[in-house]
Structure 1
Amino acid sequence: MSQTQFREVSPDAAELQPILTGLFVEYSALYGDYFARHREEELTEWYLPPHGLFIVLERDGEIIAMGAYKAFDAETAELKRIWTRSDLRRQGLALTVLEELERRALRAGYHKLFLTTGFRQAGAVRLYLAHGYQPLFDINRDPESYSQPPHDGRLRFTKTIGITATAQAS
């Protein structure tokens, strides 16, 4: 029987290169150089504890999915790099990674989550909406319209974690 487990990794670890390459190849196929003008320089230290984290999901020692978070502000973690190998989609792996990132962000003291996904990633939008993320955009609007100015192509979401419904209502 296959065993899956999470493991923390450094975001610049050589073992991450194959799955990161898969992610960027997919983004390139979806968007070409669309996001090049909005590209931010990523820094390894963003994803290091205590303020950040990069995890991989392994099955029998092989990396099959990944995700990360970094500090957005003092109480908000920004989820990043949630991705599953393309040959292993539709197995719930992205949700497994998402839930693990939520647990770990809460343990690290964050109470809000923020994330973005691209306007051509309908599966990611469905995942986030189905799991309590609030869109900061009109979900009834054609997602392609968010690729035109004044928009930057990113669909933004937020979620509150670790606070009971009773506490939220008061």
Structure 2
Amino acid sequence: MRIRALRYSDPVVRALEDELQQEYVARYGGDDDAPISPEEFEPPHGEFLVGFLGNEPVASGGFRRYDTGIAEIKRMYVSHEHRGGGHARRLLAELEARAVSAGYRRLVLETGTKQPEAIALYTSSGYSDTEPFGYHAHSHSSRYFGKDLDLASRTAAQS
């Protein structure tokens, strides 16, 4: 999978976002209406990535500034026909590396309880439960995770 940074407003990203919103409708009964501004995913404070197999966009996700030294992972998604191939894990690793390069030392994220695949990805990638935060902080259908970016990763990304 080849990974490229694209603007959150790019038509390729918008198409993947539409698929993701349909996923939310199927699992939760409605769109995720958490406010997102495309500028939040602009360097130097954020970035939005898309994974391609050939010319086909198959995975997406981004990070944005949450607090000093902390970024939030948002909108991780892999298209249905490409799940199970390690694309989410590869994209997450790239997001982590780019967050380190942007100067972040910790990542946080929120995912839904009806997304066991996402929960399994995050826990197996070193994320642990953290305090609720953000737009869905009072939702009973959300889980919150955080991960400190280790010094070795930060050093490698900065060299």
Residue 51 to residue 90, structure 1, CA distance change in 2 (3 Å): same
Q: Would you say 1:107 and 2:92 are equivalent positions?
A: no
Q: Which residue of structure 1 lines up, in the alignment, with residue 35 of structure 2?
A: 41
Q: CA-to-partner distance for each residue in 1:109-156, whole Å, 9 max, x for gaps?
A: 00000001011111111111111001127xxxxxxxxx9x95442200
Q: Would you say 1:61 and 2:55 are equivalent positions?
A: yes
Q: Which residue of structure 2 lines up, in the alignment, with residue 84 of structure 1?
A: 78
Q: Is the 8 A contact 1:7 1:56 kept in 2?
A: yes
DSSP 3-state at the match of 2:96: helix
Q: Is the 8 A contact 1:76 1:113 kept in 2?
A: yes
Letter of the 2:99 counterpart: A
Match of 2:145 among 157, 161, 164: 157
Q: Is the 8 A contact 1:106 1:162 kept in 2?
A: no
Q: TM-score, normalised by structure 1?
A: 0.81
Say what the alpha-carbon RMSD is for the aligned residues: 1.9
Letter of the 1:156 counterpart: Y
Match of 1:16 among 13, 16, 24: 13
Q: Is the 8 A contact 2:8 2:14 kept in 1?
A: no
CA distance in 2, matches of 1:40, 1:50: 22
Question: What is the CA-CA distance between 1:21 and the residue it aligns to?
Answer: 1.2
Match of 1:6 among 3, 13, 37: 3
The percentage of aligned residue pairs carrying the same residue is: 31
Letter of the 1:159 counterpart: K
DSSP 3-state at the match of 1:129: helix
Q: Would you say 1:30 and 2:27 are equivalent positions?
A: yes
* Count of residue correspondences: 148
CA distance in 2, matches of 1:152, 1:74: 27
Instruction: Kindly report which structure 2 residues correspond to 1:137-152, keeping only aligned pairs within 5 A, or say none.
Output: 151-152=139-140
Residue 84 to residue 150, structure 1, CA distance change in 2 (3 Å): closer
